[in-house]
């Protein structure tokens, strides 16, 4: 499966924080042929291992999170659904959004309510509405909603993945399914390679709720090295140039205290030697990614961070350039194939 097709197919799946099991099952299917072992831990993380078979081999863990931002049903109001947010969601974009309520056996389409401009009081159009005051309309009566939609039912944005001009794709959950697709692509490409290290693929849960899956998985795997793949903010006309990276400029390799400098330098060298496009992103402190949790697991893990530039983060219209995702995959393959059993990061 081509990388773009894989990204779009994973984006279309539903797996908000705490409800990632369908995504985990799909990732397991995709990794079965190219890894020696796959397991799901107590948190729901999918962990797959490719062993090199060499004595003294170190372990490198490559990680992307499976979960997406979403909602959870908390109550009913005249047939409308009250909800809470799963992850960081900007309430400004919620009114009139289309959503999928993940009922069983089939999900239900719904819309988040909004007042039309005709009935707003003076000045109300400039105010942000608290998410707690919004509801989801699925077209049911109070009795029907209570019977068909249990409390605790998860909800996701309804948008799928669509192509834009110039090699870009747009959709929900590209944070971090685009990177999850990169990890799968890397593992598939490594299948026929003779490696000097064992490679562990982590598809982590609950990153959007505080990197919870990475905390337990990094402790369990205890890797020698780890590379986290996530998204970072791409430049748009209304964004600060100093806090973003170029869209279409290649994968962003992070520098900062959350990253092991020697390991990062080796990744940069691998990209340079193979003439793979990349750019540097300086991260002064908390990276806001699983790298933050992984770095301090057990007695510490040499950690690096590679990111795909993304526009409109945590919205249903997240946008990436496929070439940037390809850059991330190519850099990671180049770096891992150069690692040897006695490598010291």
Torsion of CA 179, 183, 185, 191, to 10 degrees: 180
5 is catalytic: no
Can you read off the two tokens belonging to residue 1? 């499966």
Ramachandran region, residue 300 (left: φ > 0; alpha: ψ -120 to 50; beta: rest) = left
If DSSP codes are grouped into helix, strand and coil, which group holds residue 307? strand
> CA 257, CA 242: separation in Å to the nearest integer?
18
Can you read off the two tokens belonging to residue 59? 């372990």
Which is nearest to 213 in space by CA: 16, 3, 43?
A: 43
> CA 48, CA 37: separation in Å to the nearest integer?
5
Which is nearest to 289 in space by CA: 244, 228, 234, 243?
A: 228
* 108 and 149 Cβ atoms separated by less than 8 Å: yes
* 339 and 58 Cβ atoms separated by less than 8 Å: yes
Q: Which of 207, 208, 281, 318 is catalytic?
A: 207
CA atoms in the 13 A half-sphere facing the CB of 162? 7
**Residue the block writes with tokens 């990744």:** 267
Catalytic residue IDs? 207
């Amino acid at each position: 499966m081509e990388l773009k097709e894989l990204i779009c197919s994973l984006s279309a799946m539903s797996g908000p924080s705490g409800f990632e099991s369908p995504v985990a099952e799909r990732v397991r299917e995709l990794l079965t042929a190219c890894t020696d072992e796959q397991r799901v831990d107590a948190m729901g993380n999918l962990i797959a291992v490719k062993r090199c078979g060499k004595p003294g081999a170190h372990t490198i863990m490559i990680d992307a999170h499976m979960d997406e931002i979403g909602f959870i049903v908390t109550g009913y109001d005249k047939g409308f659904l009250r909800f809470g947010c799963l992850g960081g969601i900007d309430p400004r974009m919620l009114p009139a959004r289309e959503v999928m309520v993940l009922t069983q056996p089939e999900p239900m389409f719904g819309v988040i309510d909004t007042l039309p401009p005709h009935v707003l009081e003076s000045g109300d159009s400039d105010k942000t509405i608290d998410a707690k005051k919004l509801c989801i309309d699925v077209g049911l009566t109070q009795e029907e909603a209570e019977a068909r939609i249990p409390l605790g039912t998860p909800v996701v944005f309804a948008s799928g993945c669509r192509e834009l001009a110039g090699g870009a794709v747009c959709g929900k959950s590209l944070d971090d399914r685009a990177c999850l697709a990169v990890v799968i692509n890397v593992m598939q490409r490594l299948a026929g390679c003779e490696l000097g290290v064992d490679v562990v693929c982590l598809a982590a849960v609950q990153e959007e709720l505080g990197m919870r899956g990475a905390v337990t998985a990094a402790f369990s795997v205890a890797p020698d090295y780890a590379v986290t793949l996530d998204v970072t903010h791409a430049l748009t006309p209304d964004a600060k140039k100093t806090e973003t990276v170029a869209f279409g400029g290649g994968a962003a390799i992070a520098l900062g205290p959350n990253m092991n400098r020697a390991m990062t330098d080796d990744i940069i060298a691998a990209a340079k030697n193979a003439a793979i496009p990349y750019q540097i992103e300086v991260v002064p402190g908390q990276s806001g990614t699983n790298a933050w949790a992984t770095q301090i697991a057990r007695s510490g893990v040499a950690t690096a961070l590679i990111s795909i530039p993304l526009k409109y983060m945590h919205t249903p219209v997240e946008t990436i350039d496929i070439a940037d995702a390809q850059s991330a995959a190519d850099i990671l393959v180049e770096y891992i194939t150069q690692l040897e059993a006695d490598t010291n990061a």
